[in-house]
Amino acid sequence: MASIQFVFNYTPGKLEEFITKLQSVGAPDKITTDYPKSIGFGSSHARSFPAVLKYAGLLESSGQPTEAYKKGLRGGSAGRTLVGTAIAQAYKPLFDVYPDAHSHPEADLVTFVKSNSNLDDDKAGLVVRTFKALCKFGDFQNPGAADSIDEDGSKGEDVGDRGSQRRPRTSGNSGGAVVINVNIALSVDATSDPAVYDAFFAAMAKHLKGLIDGSA
């Protein structure tokens, strides 16, 4: 395998604190090498935090936050899958060998890094510790959950369970026929007049009967 360009930080513990802080402050338009100092991380090693976030897919090369940052890192528990997906893509060669890399023993990961780079033991160890610090903010157990993240970063409803979504199912007793289930949600303004509800349900029954017998 060709040499892999890994990223590491000399203070992975502080990197973890920095990312935690990012979850509680406003999302900047761009994160540069000077930004960590502005939120309390003045160490020279903190200047490389943005480079780590770029590598992990949380920042664009220009320093602008990606969707994984805005909807994932800042999306609470529902956004953790977006972060996990970004990290898994960034460290794809590692996950190809160890699908459980986020929870795999560090010794094996260090061996992998050394075997696929020119890094010595100390720096390979920092690569892994940096990786593990990032992984604390991602969910790697729930693939596909990122599809239900709303614009505000919250986890949305399963649209298949609401509205008029149609979900084809195969019945073992129908010779492979497709059954269409239609869920319809209707509402009527609150009223104390029972005649309004009677008329509402009568009209609904009429239209449903038409759907069933094909006359509608």
What digits encode the pLDDT tens for the residues 49-62? 999 999 999 999 99
pLDDT band at 141 (very low <50, low <70, confident <90, very high): confident
What digits encode the pLDDT tens for the residues 177-193? 444 555 555 555 555 56
Q: Is 108 a residue whose pLDDT tops 80?
A: yes
The mean pLDDT value of the chain amounts to 79
Strand, coil or helix: 48: helix
User: Where are the extended beta strands (E) located within the chain?
Assistant: 169-170, 178-179
More confident residue, 1 or 84: 84
Residue spans of the domains in the chain: they are: 12-148, 160-213
Per the CB < 8 A criterion, the answer to whether 128 and 119 are in contact is: no
Tally of CB atoms within 10 A around 125: 19
